[in-house]
Amino acid sequence: MKILKMAFKGYRNLKENELEFSPGINFVFGKNAQGKTNLMEAILMFTGARSFRGTKDADLVSFESDFARIDGKFFFENTEHEITIIFSGGKRKAIFDDITKSYPTNIIGRFKTVLFSPVHLSLVKDGPDYRRRFLDAAICQLKPTYTKTVSKYNQVLRQRNSFLKMFNQSKSGFELLDVWDSKLSDLGAKMIKERLEYLKIFKNKVFSFYNDISGGKEKIEVKYSFSVNKNINLGLSLEEIKKIMISKLEKTHESDIKTGSTSCGPHKDDLEILINEKPAKYFGSQGQQRSVVLAFKLAEAMILEEFSGESPVVLLDDVMSELDDFRKKYLLKNLGKRQVFITSCDKSDLKKLEIGKLFKVENGKIMQVKNF
């Protein structure tokens, strides 16, 4: 998987430009707030996913323009592909090999990347939302149909919640709640099943990467934490999960009606990360938390590669300065032959790297340079 060329216009602060990338390491250097992350984000847009910074599509367009356009030329699935994303009027449009897609998310699963940025430290430190999003995004790239399951689930969840609120006022149509429970559990069980399948493979990979990084001194465990039942195991069938979810939804009818929200389901589940049997969130040192994210990202990349037979493009946005020498070396060693983008405001990160191409970013202008 390679991005060969890219052109952009009106994207955030990036000045209109065309760039050709190296199939190896692309090192993007620049001071703070010049546009390095904007470039990484633009590359990520070709996956069909939304901005990892949670920015609305309308805000991706330059303050000085009313639309943005990014064009990329790629090599994957043994052939060249072209992807164009156009942002205008608060909406996105994706064109894949000259075919306009009705939903930009329809291209998810084609161009594959793994992004590693300091925001990922939230995976360990912050709320469950980050871990759910990580898991869902990783599965979406692997199995594009999962994207539809998640969006249908969210839709039914919103409908069930509106029904709960309505019922709380009108007190009529209670029997309809069973219909919503059944619909939600159907999709919820599918989501949970996919997550558990992913986790089965993911947790072992994370274990071995983390074991390596810690020099065999620490053990990491990643567990799925269920909002419907704490004692669930990874081997449950779809039907079993659905049954458990329905019965829990029934039990929580009363409180759900009071709050107008759904208290259990995949939207409330979490991943538990334990280092030597203690929650990494509360007891992990900064170094350990960074190692966890590193192990997560390497595992994500490896699974994508094993399942699709293609190595994802790796985007390392400003993470080199977050890692000590040992972790840096470990990361680079494990990136192998993948195409990599490294952004940094520290030239010393260049040391010992076999750089393919160097780019300098200044006030949104990106220039290829021979040296700094």
Ligand X SMILES: Nc1ncnc2c1ncn2[C@@H]1O[C@H](COP(=O)(O)OP(=O)(O)O)[C@@H](O)[C@H]1O
Helix, strand, coil % in the chain, rounded to nearest 5:
45, 25, 30
Q: How far is the CB of 38 from ligand X (least distance, A)?
A: 4
In angstroms, give the least distance from the CB of 57 to Mg ion: 20
Residues 6+ apart with CB under 8 A from 347: 29, 372
When binding is defined by CB under 5 A, the residue of 22, 26, 34, 37 that contacts Mg ion is: 37
Instruction: Provide the minimum distance between the beta carbon of 36 and Mg ion in the complex, in angstroms, as a whole number.
Output: 5
Other CB atoms within a 10 A radius of the CB of residue 4 amount to 16
Q: Which residue has the tokens 């590193």?
A: 294
Find, among 225, 241, 261, 252, the residue nearest to 128 by Cα.
225
For the chain, what's the residue count? 372
Specify the pairing of strand 340-344 against strand 313-317. Answer: parallel
CB of 320 to ligand X, least distance (A): 13
The tokens of 137 are what? 């995004």
Q: Which of 5, 18, 20, 33 binds ligand X (CB under 6 A)?
A: 33
Using CB under 5 A as the binding rule, the residues of this chain from 278 to 337 that contact Mg ion are 318
**DSSP conformation class of 11:** B
Q: Please state the closest distance from residue 45 (CB atom) to ligand X, in A.
A: 13
Decide if residue 10 touches ligand X (CB under 6 A). Answer: no
Q: What's the closest the beta carbon of residue 317 comes to ligand X, in angstroms?
A: 7
- Shortest reach from residue 53's CB to Mg ion, in Å: 10
* Phi-psi region at 265: left, alpha or beta (left = phi > 0; alpha = psi -120 to 50): left
Name the residue nearer to ligand X (CB basis): 101 or 360: 360
Q: Which is nearer to ligand X, 25 or 40 (CB)?
A: 40
- Pick between residue 194 and residue 318 the one whose CB is nearest to ligand X: 318
C-alpha–C-alpha distance, residues 307 and 297, integer Å: 16
Decide: 107 and 94 in contact? Cβ < 8 Å.
yes
Distance CA 127, CA 19 (A): 38
Nearer to ligand X, 133 or 360 (CB): 360
Going by C-alpha positions, the residue among 99, 114, 100, 119 that lies closest to residue 47 is 114
Q: How far is CA 351 from the centre of its chain?
A: 29
Q: How many residues sit in the footprint of ligand X (CB under 6 A)?
A: 14
In the bound state with Mg ion, the residue whose beta carbon lies nearer, of 57 and 322, is 322
Other Cβ atoms closer than 10 A to 337 = 8
Token representation of residue 55: 């920015």
How is residue 233 annotated by DSSP?
A: -
Cβ proximity to ligand X: between 35 and 109 the closer is 35
Closest approach of Cβ 195 to ligand X, in Å?
31
x/- mask, ligand X, residues 319-338, rule CB under 6 A, reads --------------------
Taking CB under 6 A as the criterion, the residue among 21, 30, 134, 141 binding ligand X is: 30
CA distance 106 to 257: 35
Segment lying near ligand X (by CB under 6 A), choices 54-62, 90-98, 276-284, 332-340: 54-62
**Which span sits near ligand X by CB under 6 A: 30-38, 120-128, 168-176, 299-307?**
30-38
User: 60-119: which residues touch ligand X (CB under 6 A)?
Assistant: 61-63
Cβ-based nearer residue to ligand X, 37 or 288: 37
Choosing among ligand X, Mg ion, none, which partner's interface includes residue 104 (Cβ < 5 to 8 Å by kind)? none
Taking CB under 6 A as the criterion, the residue among 22, 37, 117, 339 binding ligand X is 37
Q: What burial class does residue 89 get, using C-beta atoms within 10 Å of its C-beta: 0-12 exposed, 13-18 middle, 19+ buried?
A: exposed
Nearest CB to ligand X, comparing residues 36 and 131: 36
Positions touching ligand X (CB under 6 A) are 12-13, 30, 32-38, 59, 61-63
Positions touching Mg ion (CB under 5 A) are 36-37, 318
